[in-house]
């Protein structure tokens, strides 16, 4: 738990299933047993901001730790920053091995935040491809994304490599798309209600 990068204790028990009726509760609860991690399957959760993607994966991450599986959790931009920093101090091989090693790797928020693009560095797509390629078929990786998979090429700066990543990851992965309301929006509305002001539209936040 301490070295995993997971900082919040989200649980499936705390998840409000009624708020997200489009989500198949029994399927998620079954996935939460983490047999897919032991089977080395990958998992891709897509959906708009605030629909509970990170919550579910953080809950899975916590379970993984409790079950004695090794875990690393990172937001995509932070993982890429770590590996880009590793290029500067010649620790890239060591660090990418470390990311490739855990039984369960969670890459949260692909599509959120700016990925760096510099001519003298491998693109985000290269770095992510290297990592996914090392793990694919051997160890389980779970990813969330708030953008459509077909937009990964634009986001990561390389359409061909994005396709190669998705060939490995998404084509064979367990796929969940959460099409529903934002819990963040609900919290914001409730706060605004309490203050007696109309909620602002921050659904794109
Ligand atoms: N159905 C839900 N029940 C309880 N809390 C939820 C639910 N969906 C989201 N949340 C909470 O709302 C916040 C935003 O959810 P999050 O999982 O981070 O959304 P996403 O990753 O899809 O943008 C988090 O604090 C999360 O715990
Ligand atoms: Mg999230």
140 lines ligand 1 (CB under 6 A): no
Angstrom distance (rounded) from CA 93 to CA 160: 23
What pLDDT is recorded for position 204? 46
16 lines ligand 1 (CB under 6 A): yes
Angstrom distance (rounded) from CA 142 to CA 173: 9
Q: How far is CA 167 from the centre of its chain?
A: 17
First-residue to last-residue Cα distance in the chain:
29
Whole-model pTM: value is 0.91
CA–centroid distance, 120 to ligand 2, in Å, is 30
pLDDT digits (tens, 9 = 90+) for 101-116: 999 999 999 999 888 7
Q: How far is CA 108 from the centre of its chain?
A: 2
What pLDDT is recorded for position 200? 57
19 lines ligand 1 (CB under 6 A): yes
Give the pair of three-digit tokens for residue 39: 């089977």
pLDDT digits (tens, 9 = 90+) for 3-56: 889 988 999 999 999 999 999 999 999 999 999 999 999 999 999 999 999 999
CA–centroid distance, 50 to ligand 2, in Å, is 7
Q: Are 107 and 61 in contact (CB under 8 A)?
A: no
Q: Whose CA is nearest to atom 20 of ligand 1?
A: 50
How many residues make up the chain in this entry?
205
Which ligand places an atom closest to the C-alpha of 56?
1
Which among 25, 183, 190, 205 is the best mutation to test ligand 1's pocket, defined by most ligand atoms within 8 Å of the CB? 183
Structural domains in the chain, sorted by start: 24-195 (3.40.50.300)
Q: Is the pLDDT of residue 199 over 60?
A: no
Using the atom order of ligand 1, give the atom closest to the CA of residue 108: 21
Comparing 122 with 167, the larger pLDDT belongs to 167
Choose among 161, 174, 141, 158: nearest CA to 46: 174
């Amino acid at each position: 738990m301490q070295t995993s990068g997971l900082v919040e204790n989200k649980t499936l028990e705390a998840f409000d299933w009624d708020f997200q009726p489009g989500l198949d509760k029994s399927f998620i609860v079954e996935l939460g047993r983490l047999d897919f991690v032991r089977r080395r399957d990958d998992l891709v959760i897509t959906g708009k901001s605030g629909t509970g993607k990170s919550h579910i994966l953080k809950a899975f991450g916590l379970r993984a730790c409790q079950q004695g599986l090794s875990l690393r959790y990172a937001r995509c931009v932070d993982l890429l920053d770590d590996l880009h920093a590793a290029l500067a101090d010649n620790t890239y091989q060591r660090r990418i091995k470390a990311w490739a090693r855990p039984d369960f790797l969670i890459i949260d928020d692909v599509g959120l935040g700016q990925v760096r693009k510099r001519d003298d560095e491998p693109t985000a797509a290269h770095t992510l491809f290297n990592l996914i390629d090392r793990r694919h078929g051997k160890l389980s990786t779970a990813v969330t994304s708030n953008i459509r998979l077909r937009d990964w090429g634009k986001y990561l700066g390389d359409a061909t490599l994005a396709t190669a990543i998705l060939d490995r990851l998404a084509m064979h992965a367990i796929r969940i798309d959460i099409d529903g309301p934002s819990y963040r929006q609900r919290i914001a509305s409730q706060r605004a209600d309490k203050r007696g002001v109309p909620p602002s539209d921050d659904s794109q936040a």
